């Protein structure tokens, strides 16, 4: 595979077309697949996500890709989880009590504790916290969010950026070559495309 090949995991949920188009626009070679061997052999993996935590985990389990994804991520290979694809990296979510996430990172996903309208939908400003190669130059930039739940990592060092939505919301996480973003870079205009390009070029 080329080092610009990016496997976009198809598990029956997720904004595959938009992510595929955005990756191609920044010079990547997107491959949409749910094939376990293709994911295991990938140079880079994106796990997109639209929908509910419980449905996501059920579909991943049905597709038989959970062990492959966990092994891939634990080997610190380039991985990007988008929106729900970031949330499932944690142990559990209030959205689906009793359903286990991938458990890559200690922590949970909770309903956004804010007095503002939920879901949080629209453009919001990033405040960078921990250095992250994908987010270089993104301080103060606006990105597009659509979500009702947010991640609460046990280790705050994992948080690479936050935004303000009546409370501090985890906007992105990262450790090594593993990244997650709560917002949608594929819908975040030039700043989002720049992030995807940095991921493709890792």
Provide the annotated active-site residues.
Answer: 83, 184, 186
Nearest-angstrom CA–CA distance, 92 and 197: 30
Residue 47's nearest CA partner among 69, 27, 25, 22 is 69
Nearest-angstrom CA–CA distance, 22 and 48: 12
Nearest-angstrom CA–CA distance, 134 and 170: 16
Nearest-angstrom CA–CA distance, 25 and 96: 35
Instruction: Give me 102's structure tokens.
Output: 């991938």
Secondary structure (3-state) at 157: helix
Nearest-angstrom CA–CA distance, 82 and 172: 9
């Amino acid at each position: 595979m080329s080092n610009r090949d990016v496997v976009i995991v198809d598990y029956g949920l997720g904004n595959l077309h938009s992510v595929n188009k955005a990756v191609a626009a920044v010079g990547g070679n997107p491959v949409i697949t749910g094939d376990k061997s293709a994911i295991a052999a990938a140079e880079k993996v994106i796990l997109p996500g639209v929908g509910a935590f419980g449905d996501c985990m059920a579909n991943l389990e049905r597709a038989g890709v959970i062990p492959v994804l966990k092994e891939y991520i634990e080997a610190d290979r380039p991985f990007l989880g988008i929106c729900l694809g970031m949330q499932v990296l944690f142990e559990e979510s209030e959205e689906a009590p009793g359903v286990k996430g991938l458990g890559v990172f200690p922590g949970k996903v909770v309903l956004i504790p804010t007095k503002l309208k939920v879901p949080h939908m629209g453009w919001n400003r990033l405040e960078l916290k921990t250095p992250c190669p994908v987010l270089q130059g993104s301080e103060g930039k606006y990105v597009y969010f659509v979500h009702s739940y947010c991640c609460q990592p046990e280790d705050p060092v994992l948080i690479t950026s936050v935004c303000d939505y009546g409370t501090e919301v985890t906007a992105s996480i990262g450790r090594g070559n593993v990244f997650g973003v709560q917002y949608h870079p594929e819908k975040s205009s030039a700043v989002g495309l720049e992030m995807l390009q940095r991921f493709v070029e890792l």
